[in-house]
């Protein structure tokens, strides 16, 4: 079945640690996105990538890093510079980066907690 | 600046009641798309509908209907004869075209938690 797979589902991070969230899609989509969800704040865009080996900052990129070495994969690293990383992280993909009309498909999310 | 407002934080209804979720948006773009997504307790966002800025016709899909009014910048979502399975967080979103080309960035509202009681 085609879709987006995020792993792990739950992740615990100690203060000062970097952690990487995985996102893999087998939909052959060009564009991929990372969103952060906090209670009462909706979803906010962290980074997005329209094509392999290229990515752009979203609205809240500070403290995060990404890579896009393969079309299918868009991992997100939460660095120690992110002061409040506890949140629910959602990965998404779309068919055409140049179209403003295609729906985004989402993974099931990773819940990150700082301990 | 583009913005999506969902003023209703939580709504609680009894099964079989009709319920309307409000969505108001702001954009300077003449071409844009509006979306509704459902987020069940599992966390994954499920696509419900996409509507472009040039099509103001209302749409009905089973118990779901959407009312798009450019004059009031609103894109409201109505569930008729609600069911317990409709309980979820519902997000309205606006698709923005970035400088230098479209980016498909989605701008989300804060969501409305709908609780349908049996």
CA B80 from chain center: how many Å? Answer: 15
Is A40 close to B97, i.e. CB distance below 8 A? no
CB A26 within 8 Å of CB A44: no
How many other CB atoms are found less than 10 A from the CB of residue B51?
A: 19
Q: How far is CA A36 from CA A40, A44, A46, B21, in A?
A: 12, 5, 7, 23
**What is the pLDDT, as a whole number, of residue B56?**
82
Q: What is the DSSP string of B45-112?
A: -EEEEEEETT----EEETTEEEEEEGGGTEEEEEESS--GGG-EEEEEEEEEPPTTS---EEEE---E
Residue with tokens 């079309």: A71
Report pLDDT digits (tens) over B68-87: 999 999 999 999 999 999 99
Contact status of B33 with chain A (Cβ, < 8 Å): yes
**What is the pLDDT, as a whole number, of residue B51?**
87
Instruction: Scan residues 41-100 of A and list those with Cβ closer than 8 Å to B.
Output: 41-45, 48, 50, 56, 58, 88, 90, 92, 94, 96-100
Is B106 close to A101, i.e. CB distance below 8 A? no
User: Mean pLDDT throughout B51-55?
Assistant: 85
Between strands A43-51 and B46-52, the pairing is unpaired
Distance CA A5, CA A107 (A): 6
CB A32 within 8 Å of CB A83: no
For residue A8, whether the previous peptide bond is cis, meaning omega lies within 30 degrees of 0, is yes
**pLDDT category of residue B98 using cuts at 50, 70 and 90:** low
**What is the pLDDT, as a whole number, of residue B63?**
94
How many other CB atoms are found less than 10 A from the CB of residue A63?
A: 15
Is B106 close to A43, i.e. CB distance below 8 A? yes
CA B101 from chain center: how many Å? Answer: 25
User: Mean pLDDT throughout B16-20?
Assistant: 97
User: Mean pLDDT throughout B93-102?
Assistant: 64
**What is the pLDDT, as a whole number, of residue B102?**
47
Q: From first to last of the 115 residues of chain A, give the pLDDT tens digit.
A: 679 999 999 999 888 899 999 999 999 988 899 999 998 778 999 999 988 999 999 999 999 999 999 999 999 999 988 889 999 999 999 876 555 557 788 999 999 998 8
Cα within 13 Å of Cα(A28), Cβ side: 1
Q: Is residue B103's pLDDT more than 80?
A: no
What chain B residue is nearest to A92 in terms of C-alpha separation? B45
What is the length of chain B? 118
- pLDDT-above-90 percentage for chain B: 67
**What is the pLDDT, as a whole number, of residue B58?**
84
């Amino acid at each position: 079945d085609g879709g987006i797979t995020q792993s792990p589902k739950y992740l615990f991070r100690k203060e000062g640690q970097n952690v990487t969230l995985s996102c893999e899609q087998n939909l052959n989509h060009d564009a991929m996105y990372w969103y952060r969800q906090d209670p009462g704040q909706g979803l906010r865009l962290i980074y997005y990538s329209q094509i392999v080996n290229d990515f752009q900052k979203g609205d809240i990129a500070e403290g995060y890093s990404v890579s896009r070495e393969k079309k299918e994969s868009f991992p997100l690293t939460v660095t120690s510079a992110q002061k409040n990383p506890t949140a629910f992280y959602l990965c998404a993909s779309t068919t055409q980066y140049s179209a403003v009309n295609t729906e985004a498909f989402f993974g099931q999310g990773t819940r990150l907690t700082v301990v | 600046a583009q913005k999506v407002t969902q003023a209703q934080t939580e709504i609680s209804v009894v099964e079989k009641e009709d319920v309307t979720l409000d969505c108001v948006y702001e954009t300077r773009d003449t071409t844009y798309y509006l979306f509704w997504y459902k987020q069940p307790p599992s966390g994954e966002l499920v696509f419900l509908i996409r509507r472009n800025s040039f099509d103001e016709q209302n749409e009905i899909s089973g118990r779901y209907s959407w009312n798009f009014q450019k004059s009031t910048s609103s894109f409201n979502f109505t569930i008729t004869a609600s069911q317990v399975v409709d309980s979820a967080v519902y997000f309205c979103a606006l698709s923005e075209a970035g400088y230098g080309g479209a980016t498909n960035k989605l701008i989300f509202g804060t969501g409305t938690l709908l609780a349908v009681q049996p």
